[in-house]
Structures are given as structure tokens and as C-alpha cells.
Amino acid sequence: EDQVTQSPEALRLQEGESSSLNCSYTVSGLRGLFWYRQDPGKGPEFLFTLYSAGEEKEKERLKATLTKKESFLHITAPKPEDSATYLCAVQAPGETSGSRLTFGEGTQLTVNP
Amino acid sequence: NAGVMQNPRHLVRRRGQEARLRCSPMKGHSHVYWYRQLPEEGLKFMVYLQKENIIDESGMPKERFSAEFPKEGPSILRIQQVVRGDSAAYFCASSPLKLGEQYFGPGTRLTVT
């Protein structure tokens, strides 16, 4: 069974204090790893897709990287508006099940001014 | 391009009533997914549909839950005889392809009293 584990569960940073969120996964034949941002009371907002080890994607203060067993979401000089829950999800092979996303529990990030 | 639309945003039902949740995918997207987020838990896959077909319903409870995506109109997630444990946020997502990123709607928050 596919498993996704995110750490830490919660993270508090001061504005400008860079850090990383971790997503480790157990899946046979990764088809894609996805990062989402979720604000309270809203649906997940798509951030990045990574397909193969060594791949990196960047968007503003966020950078996502992928290895064979885990992914990191690096946050550089965060601002209070980066406060949200960050979700990691994987897609794995399967004729019918291959489209579903398996999510981790998320990391709740708070950035204090 | 309008995003994924869900209605209602909030739904209150008494135990034993029926709940109908609607989802209109993004324009050009023919793949629809339903996920459930229970309080203090992560997002869990329920069902994957294409027009007029259920592709994967392995995450959906066998009883009381059903889903459809007719040729015309929105996708519907139907919960019969709701119980308190059905209280959750239900999210719909859509994608243009079978694999790859999925785009989420704002969710329907179901409360069973």
C-alpha cells in the first residue's frame, strides 16, 4: 500500500527564517509527486509536480526537490502570507488506481512577523 | 478559466437524511475525483469518474455512498441516510489527463446533526 509521511507536523518560523519540509514516500514505481498548499476552509492549491529523482521546481520563495525516497519543500525567507498547511501527494501505477492521489497528513506552517 | 466549482459550500443534514454534493470540473477537464477530509485527518481518495463511467471507486464506502458523472451536468456525490461520522469536508478535483496534477474545488462542508 502506498504511504506518504510528512514531517514535521507543525513548524513555526520567524519571517525571513528559511527552512525545509519533508515528505517521505513508499510506493512501487512513482508516477508523480505533488505539492499543494491548503489555507483554512479552502481547497488544496496546486504548487508543483515532480516526476523523477533529481528534479527541482521553483516558484517565488518555494523550491521542491525529489529523491528516490523523499521530497523536500524548501522555503526561503518566508513571509507571514506563506502560513498554510502544505500537503504532499503521490500517484502510483495501476490501471484504474493509477490516477488517485495518496496524501500525507500535511505540515502546518506558521510564519510570524 | 473558471476553476472547479462545488455547491453547496456548506450543508447541514439531520441523521437519516440524504446529502447531494455537486461538482463542476474545470473547462476541458473530463476526469473528476472526490476526496474526503475528516476532522484532524488527511485527504482520502473516494472515487474517480469520467463522463458516464466510474473508473475507480475503491475508496468509497460500500453502503450509502454513490457517485455519478452524467453526460450533461455536474458530477454528484450522494450520501444516503447520513450519520454523524459522515461530517467532513468533501473535495472535488478535476484534471485534463488521467495522470498528472489535479485541481481542487473549494469543498463542501457537511455537518450531520
The size of the A-B interface in CB pairs under 8 A is: 66
Q: How far is A42 from chain B (nearest CA, A)?
A: 5
- Cross-chain Cβ contact A31/B99 below 8 Å: yes
**Chain A residue at shortest CA distance from B34:** A100
pLDDT beyond 70 at A96: no
Residue of A nearest to B103 (CA): A46
State the pLDDT confidence band at A29, using cuts at 50, 70 and 90. Answer: confident
Query: Taking residues B76-104, what's their average pLDDT?
Result: 95
Higher-pLDDT residue of A55, A30:
A55
Please list, residue by residue across B35-68, b when 16 or more beta carbons sit within 10 angstroms of its beta carbon and e when fewer do.
Answer: bbbeeeebbbbbbbbeeeeebbbebbeeeebebe
Q: Quote the pLDDT of residue A95.
A: 65
